[in-house]
Amino acid sequence: MRFLVILVAAVALIAAAVTITQSDESTVAVEPISRVNRLRQNVDSLQARLNRLPGDASGWAQLGSSYVELARTTTDPTYYVKAQGALERSMKLVPEGNGEAMIGMGALANARHDFTEAKDWATRAQAVMPETAEVYGVLADALTQLGDDKGAMDAVQRMLDLKPNVTAFTRAAYHFELHGQEAEARSAMQRGLESATSADEVAFCEYQLGELAWNVRQAGQASEHYERGLVTSPKDPALLHGRAKVLAAQGKIDKALAGYRDLTARAPQYIPDYARLLAQTGRKAEADQQYDILAKQQKLLESQGASDDLVASAVAADRGDNATALRLAEAEWAKRQSVFVADAMAWALHLNGRHADALSYSDKAVALGWRDATVLEHRNAILGAIR
């Protein structure tokens, strides 16, 4: 594919051209002020400003976007409603040409998994702010989830052209990973690490490098990246999740479960993995307790305008509720035909004994070249059932 050659070259050229300004904070073991605290401080500052200047449309847009990021970082869905209120206030003040608020609305829609709406907002923002990299970040995320590979590819390339920073390199790496180009994905993510300008970004890049290794079952290499990230940010939930996954893979089950127990108390998005490990190790009653907590969390998400049928389908499959797993996967496929949903469809169909149908969706899941280990495990099980 011609684009992929161009993108590799762009990543290399950009990295050579950009002056790297690593902060001292990224090299010390003392944990800096957390991203959550900085976001909350920013929210407090914006609220104080808006109390003085309630007609500041840009301020309301910034506040809304900060709430979206807080929701993502804390997994507290109540921030979604606050974000929507602030962004709508900005749009009311400046109904036309308010690209800043449009970007925020697109990011909010992505966070709520309404990817069609996110695409619409990003397209509107693009017409107003065509030279703004953040527009293409929102657009790339939405198009990736909707299964528009060419559109996502173009958005990522435009992002790299406009602002070759961590967020752009991360999306480039993700694009390569979905196409089975592991070396290129690692190279892009390494460029992101080299361009990091804060401890948060260093930790984030180490996590992403760890995930690239983990997703192809290179647990040792993944662990090295997770642990390097934890030196920079010892309480980072994603990195702690990485550590717990590795401990489980190494057979250190008690340590892994202890890690998950502490982690999920403040980061409930990792409950599915915790519950799955509990069930796999014969702790069914404890697993059921975690699944009950997850069900309540899902209801809270839905009450705040968000949903995640993809995760819900996987959870149902883990619990042996195969009919529900298929129903949820089908509902998600009706909304978006991405490789992620194709894999969910394939697995749910397989669990329901429809192996030939499952294979057709498995073909879709790997059509781009995606070689995620779990996806391949699903595919091998389906092929085994057909033989």
What is the three-state SS of the chain?
Answer: CHHHHHHHHHHHHHHHHCCCCCCHHHHCCCCCCCHHHHHHHHHHHHHHHHHHCCCCHHHHHHHHHHHHHHHHHHCCCHHHHHHHHHHHHHHHHCCCCCHHHHHHHHHHHHHCCCHHHHHHHHHHHHHHCCCCHHHHHHHHHHHHHHCCHHHHHHHHHHHHHHCCCHHHHHHHHHHHHHCCCHHHHHHHHHHHHHCCCCHHHHHHHHHHHHHHHHCCCCHHHHHHHHHHHHHHCCCCHHHHHHHHHHHHHCCCHHHHHHHHHHHHCCCHHHHHHHHHHHHHCCCHHHHHHHHHHHHHHHHHHHHCCCCCHHHHHHHHHHCCCHHHHHHHHHHHHHHCCCHHHHHHHHHHHHHCCCHHHHHHHHHHHCCCCCCCHHHHHHHHHHHHHHC
| Rounded distance between C-alpha atoms, residue 79 and residue 66, angstroms | 9
| Rounded distance between C-alpha atoms, residue 211 and residue 208, angstroms | 5
Q: How far is CA 376 from CA 215, 366, 381, in A?
A: 10, 8, 9
pTM for the structure as a whole: 0.87
Burial 281-300 (b: 16+ CB within 10 A, else e): eebeebbeebbeebeebbee
Distance of CA 330 to the CA centre of its chain: 22
First to last CA, the chain: 33
> pLDDT means per 10 residues in the chain (387 residues)?
34 32 31 71 95 97 96 89 97 97 98 96 98 98 97 98 97 97 98 94 97 96 98 94 97 98 93 96 96 89 84 94 98 96 98 98 97 97 94
Q: How many CB atoms lie within 10 A of CB 247?
A: 21
In this structure, are residues 107 and 65 in contact, taking their beta carbons and an 8 Å threshold? yes
| Rounded distance between C-alpha atoms, residue 63 and residue 88, angstroms | 11
